[in-house]
Amino acid sequence: MGYFSVENLSISFGGIKAVDNISFSVEKNEIFSIIGPNGSGKTTIFNLISGIYKPDDGAVIMEGENLVGKTPDRIAKKGIARTFQNIELFANATVMDNLMLGRHIHMNTGIFTGAFMFGKRSPAAREEVEHREKVEKIIDFLELQSVRDQFVGSLAYGKRKLVEVGRALALEPKVMLLDEPSAGMNTEEKDDLTIWIKDIREDYQMTILLIEHDMNMIMGISDRVFAMQQGKKITLGPPQEVQKHPEVIKAYLGEEGIS
Amino acid sequence: MDMKRSYYEDIELFKSGVILFWTIVFLLVLFTFPLYMSDYALYLLNLIMVYVIVSVGLNILVGSTGQISLGHAGFFAIGAYATVLLMTNLQIPFFIAIIAAAFIAAFFGFILGLPALRLEGPYLTIATLAFGLAIMHVIGHTEFFGGRQGLMAPPLDLGIPQLGWSFVLSSETSKYYLVLIITILMVLFAINILKTKAGRAFVAIRDSDIAAEVIGINLTMYKTLSFAVSAFYAGIGGGLFAFVLGFFDPFTFNLILSIIFIVMIVVGGLGSVMGSITGAALITYLMYDLFKNVNEAPYVGPLFVAFSERWMTITGMDNFNYIALGLVMIGIMLFEPLGMFGAWIRIKKYWKTWPF
Ligand SMILES: Nc1ncnc2c1ncn2[C@@H]1O[C@H](COP(=O)(O)OP(=O)(O)OP(=O)(O)O)[C@@H](O)[C@H]1O
Ligand SMILES: [Mg+2]
């Protein structure tokens, strides 16, 4: 058993088995990619892991503990952070505040301590400054300095995707789930993102689960690739092998073919 | 080089010297009002400040967390009744009584917040509405609370009379200073709360509760906390209101009042402390002064009176009050959906680039 694993995970929606008896095990510090045609159940796996859906059957195990049945906020506190395919940011808050929200689980200021934030030396102000420093590092790392104080609702799509990655990073999770982070980005932005994901793995000692449609990116950064179709596993292995797997090719030929 | 300082600037109460300067000027003006204002004007200002406290709290619930309450008159009533009853029945000193009353209101807020986890949107609003009405009727039918006759506020003694140390505020001026200082404090607390962990969590829940949850925000805790905080504010406001009025009955705290609280924050600007303040000030002034005296206005006044007597119910002039309030609200929604605060932001932007 690896560092993080899902075991026999299943869920159906009105008779359709969106995720059907899926098992895999991820090593610490690995970049583990999940691919599959549209509607194959990739996002649903993330929703099961992060506690948004409760599986009909199966387990999500991290460091020996089963996370199934815990609420999403408990799972976040256990060290799992994620981004969403369709971006779930706090649109009427600034980039800074979105990232500060990523620090939520690491902060202790209660409502009374917060209310008495008078002067630099108050406990609330000290904690704010301490966490702002951490967030500022993320802002520098993802090159968000220019949009630091803008409302995320007003940002370009690619930038918003990046803010979401930053927010997940701010949680300092052990495992990060990225759901199509490069969707809607141009080539240049995608190249940057590829480098950053590698850096995140190195610098933050992170374990990353990645859902992607961009094959170049998948081939470039994955340690292993898990291919699935209609809720079921096709194959699991190193990217080059998975890419050549006849059933994977077949599954993708239905769409646009694999590049 | 001095990195730390620059991060602190983000959260400083006064972001620039200019803001600090104007805030001080504004406060100085507020502190000099009693020197040249009539008692009636001070009474009006006291009312405004009481409503400012309630609005600031309500805006934390509605504007920041995105939960609508039509029951805030209930918390307001709890604040007023609990403060007065604690003082008269248990001889508890004023400051302790009003804080205790606010905590009692907050407790009720917490209880009312619990269904918020299951009920969404309009259903929750109806639950709060029922709560507000229930409070009014329970008070009205209970002898202990003074029943329909209402209650008289005791002398406003800031000391501890049991220890022979009394400090009774009887003049409108002295009450004004008390209310002013408490209002300033409550406003500052709100600004700080919204800039720290809890305030950000409130906004997060409003914008995307699913994202809020996956970053580790406990929805149960923060939704009920938001109710409790805003009820606490209504409780403090209610405690002061009791002494501003001197006498009150259950019908003071009717559904219309809850709606007027909502009008204040919508007109002022949802989610903004400055908006709550301006909204409360404007609406209170319109309601208690301008619209009340509209019948004395030259030409228009008699016309209104005639119209009212001919076409409306006995409380004719009050009808105009509500109609006018409704029109103000519709006007704001049509022309400036972000409220007066939104207008202010636009004006600021305009002047920033003027004359280029
Ligand atoms: N809440 C839900 N209710 C009903 N059906 C759902 C729900 N969530 C997912 N599904 C269904 O489960 C299947 C898998 O969806 P999922 O979003 O996991 O696919 P995906 O692999 O992420 O696809 P894409 O590449 O388009 O993002 C789809 O048929 C989808 O309609
Ligand atoms: Mg998906």
List the domain boundaries for chain A.
4-95+173-253
> Cα(B320)–Cα(B305) distance, rounded to whole angstroms?
10
B216 vs A77, A115, A120: nearest CB = A77
> Cα(B33)–Cα(B28) distance, rounded to whole angstroms?
9
> Cα(A82)–Cα(B138) distance, rounded to whole angstroms?
48
**Average of per-residue pLDDT values in chain B:** 87
Nearest-atom number in ligand 1 for the CA of A40 is: 21
Burial class (CB in 10 A: 0-12, 13-18, 19+), A188: exposed
B197 vs A71, A114, A132: nearest CB = A114
Q: What is the pLDDT of residues B58-114, one digit of tens each?
A: 999 999 999 899 999 999 999 999 999 999 999 999 999 999 999 999 999 999 998
> Cα(A4)–Cα(B277) distance, rounded to whole angstroms?
51
> Cα(A79)–Cα(B215) distance, rounded to whole angstroms?
10
Distance, in angstroms, between A243 CA and closest chain B CA? 32
> Cα(B127)–Cα(B60) distance, rounded to whole angstroms?
18
For residue A178, the chain B residues in CB contact (below 8 A) are: none
User: What element of type H or E holds A35?
Assistant: strand A31-35
Q: Do B215 and A96 touch (CB under 8 A)?
A: no
Chain B positions contacting chain A at CB under 8 Å are 3-4, 7-8, 10-11, 13, 188-190, 192-193, 195-201, 203-204, 206-208, 210-219, 225, 229, 271
* Of A175-179, B2-6, B216-220, B242-246, minimum mean pLDDT range: B2-6
The domain made up of A4-95+173-253 is a member of CATH 3.20.20.150: no
pLDDT-derived band of residue A1, with 50, 70 and 90 as boundaries?
A: low
Q: What is the pLDDT of residues A112-128, one digit of tens each?
A: 999 999 988 899 999 99
* Of A176-180, B195-199, B311-315, minimum mean pLDDT range: B311-315
A117 vs B196, B214, B271: nearest CB = B196
- B344 assigned to some structural domain: no
Q: What is the pLDDT averaged over residues A31-35?
A: 96
Q: How far is the CA of B214 from the centre of ligand 1 (A)?
A: 19
A12 CB within 6 A, ligand 1? no
pLDDT-derived band of residue B320, with 50, 70 and 90 as boundaries?
A: confident
Q: Whose CA is nearest to atom 5 of ligand 1?
A: A13
The fraction of chain A above a pLDDT of 90, given in percent, is 82
Count of helices and strands (H, E) across chain A: 10, 10
pLDDT-derived band of residue B1, with 50, 70 and 90 as boundaries?
A: very low
- B268 assigned to some structural domain: no
pLDDT at B332: 78
A239 CB within 6 A, ligand 1? no
Q: What is the pLDDT averaged over residues A31-51?
A: 95
pLDDT-derived band of residue B244, with 50, 70 and 90 as boundaries?
A: very high
- The pTM for the full model equals 0.91
> Cα(B56)–Cα(A184) distance, rounded to whole angstroms?
40
A171 vs B188, B198, B216: nearest CB = B216
b/e burial code for range B264-297 (CB count within 10 A of at least 16 → b)? bbbbbbbbbbbbbbbbbbbbbebbbeebeebbee
Looking at the CA of A19, which ligand is closest? 1
Q: What is the pLDDT of residues B281-309, one digit of tens each?
A: 999 988 887 767 766 777 777 777 777 77
Distance, in angstroms, between B258 CA and closest chain A CA? 25
Q: Whose CA is nearest to atom 14 of ligand 1?
A: A41
> Cα(B166)–Cα(B154) distance, rounded to whole angstroms?
13
Higher-confidence position of A38 and B297: A38
pLDDT at A254: 62
Q: Do A128 and B210 touch (CB under 8 A)?
A: no
Q: How far is the CA of B136 from the centre of ligand 2 (A)?
A: 51
How many domains does chain B contain in total? 1
pLDDT at B350: 64
Could you tell me the residue range of the domain that residue B147 belongs to? 34-253
Burial class (CB in 10 A: 0-12, 13-18, 19+), A230: middle
Cis peptide before A181 (omega within 30 of 0): no
pLDDT at B351: 62
pLDDT-derived band of residue A84, with 50, 70 and 90 as boundaries?
A: very high
> Tokens 């704001």 correspond to what residue?
B332
Which residues, listed in sequence order, are joined to residue A11 by a DSSP beta bridge? A19
A39 CB within 6 A, ligand 1? yes
Please name the residue of chain A whose CA is at the shortest distance from the CA of residue B228: A111
**Average of per-residue pLDDT values in chain A:** 92
pLDDT-derived band of residue A9, with 50, 70 and 90 as boundaries?
A: very high
Distance, in angstroms, between B213 CA and closest chain A CA? 5
Q: What is the pLDDT averaged over residues A9-18?
A: 93
A47 CB within 6 A, ligand 1? no
- E strand intervals along chain B: 151-152, 156-157, 168-169, 247-248
For residue B7, the chain A residues in CB contact (below 8 A) are: 128-129, 132-133, 136
Q: What is the pLDDT averaged over residues A14-22?
A: 93
Q: What is the pLDDT averaged over residues A15-31?
A: 94
Q: What is the pLDDT of residues B3-59, one digit of tens each?
A: 444 677 777 777 777 778 888 899 999 999 999 989 999 999 999 999 999 999 999
- B38 assigned to some structural domain: yes
Q: How far is the CA of A41 from the centre of ligand 2 (A)?
A: 7
Write out the residues surrounding ion ligand 2, Cβ under 5 A: A 43, 85
> Cα(B101)–Cα(B104) distance, rounded to whole angstroms?
5
pLDDT at B61: 95
Task: Report the DSSP pairing between strands A80-82 and A175-179.
Answer: parallel
B198 vs A72, A76, A111: nearest CB = A111
Please name the residue of chain A whose CA is at the shortest distance from the CA of residue B201: A101
- Which ipTM score applies to this complex? 0.92
For residue A129, the chain B residues in CB contact (below 8 A) are: 4, 7-8, 11
Nearest-atom number in ligand 1 for the CA of A36 is: 21
